[in-house]
Chain A
């Protein structure tokens, strides 16, 4: 069975600090995809990134960066120079391909990030 663990329930930082959100996953599939979503207080999940299991290159997008390490089954997310607008719950998710080609996302329990002035 697929499983995603986000051990950090809540993290508080001061604005401009860097913060890393951890994600550890379990799967028996050899090909799989990992995702990060942001859920701000408004409630709508916002897609941030998708990575496949064959691509272990780190990715950077502005202040966001992702570190995928297959050897440790981890897909960590770092926000550099955090801002108050980054305050949200962040979810890591693992996909499983379904009949017909769709994909089921298994989410972790999320990490609540609070960025204070």
Chain B
């Protein structure tokens, strides 16, 4: 396994711009998760995919956020009209199997909105 990869690792953008992050899960992992982590806090759940279906979204995920996982492989998270409050680390994780299996996390994408 090569692990979960995320790109880019860092993104600096101006307020109002759109940004897109990519996550490549561990191959054969059917579940993919997005979390957001701000300084001094634990990760917070944003959304979850089983294969290509987005099955759960947190209330934290405003309508400016959209996530996709076409063909059940990689996933993208897009933030439209970024705000300074969107500055955070965006983490992707994947897992295999049904139930409370451990999730394996990627290195994250650090977003800074100026």
Interface residues on B, range: 20 to 34
B101 touches A103 (CB 8 A): yes
* B42 proximity list for chain A (CB < 8 A): 4, 91, 93, 107-110
With A102-B31, A102-B56, A102-B95 given, is the CB distance from A45 to B105 under 8 Å? yes
- Known contacts A98-B56, A99-B56, A100-B50; A105 and B95 CB within 8 A of each other: no
| A29 to B89 CA separation, bound complex (whole angstroms) | 30
- Contact partners of A47 in chain B: CB under 8 A: 102-105
**Residue on A nearest B107 in the bound complex, by CB:** A44
Q: How far is the CA of A47 from the CA of B96 in the complex (A)?
A: 14
Q: How far is the CA of A46 from the CA of B43 in the complex (A)?
A: 13
A50 on interface, CB distance cutoff 8 Å:
yes
Question: Would you call B2 an interface residue if the criterion is a C-beta within 8 Å of the partner chain's C-beta atoms?
Answer: no
A65 in contact (CB, < 8 A):
no
CB-CB contacts of A95-117 with B at 8 A, as 1s and 0s? 10111111111111110000000
Interface size on A, residues (CB 8 A): 30
Q: DSSP class of B's interface residues: helix, strand, loop or mixed?
A: strand
Contacts of B40 in A (CB 8 A): 109-110
Q: A47-B104, A97-B99 are in contact. Are A105 and B56 (CB under 8 A)?
A: no
Q: Are B108 and A44 in contact (CB under 8 A)?
A: yes
Q: Is A43 an interface residue (CB 8 A)?
A: yes
**Quick check: B33 and A102 within 8 Å, CB to CB?**
yes
Q: Which residues of A contact B35 (CB under 8 A)?
A: 105
Q: Is A43's CB under 8 angstroms from B48's CB?
A: no
Give the nearest-CB partner of B4 in chain A.
Answer: A44
Per the bound structure, the CA–CA distance linking A95 and B99 in Å amounts to 9
- On whether the beta carbons of B55 and A99 are closer than 8 Å, the reply is yes
Interface residues, chain A, with chain B CB atoms under 8 Å away: 4, 32-33, 35, 37, 42-47, 50, 52, 91, 93, 95, 97-110
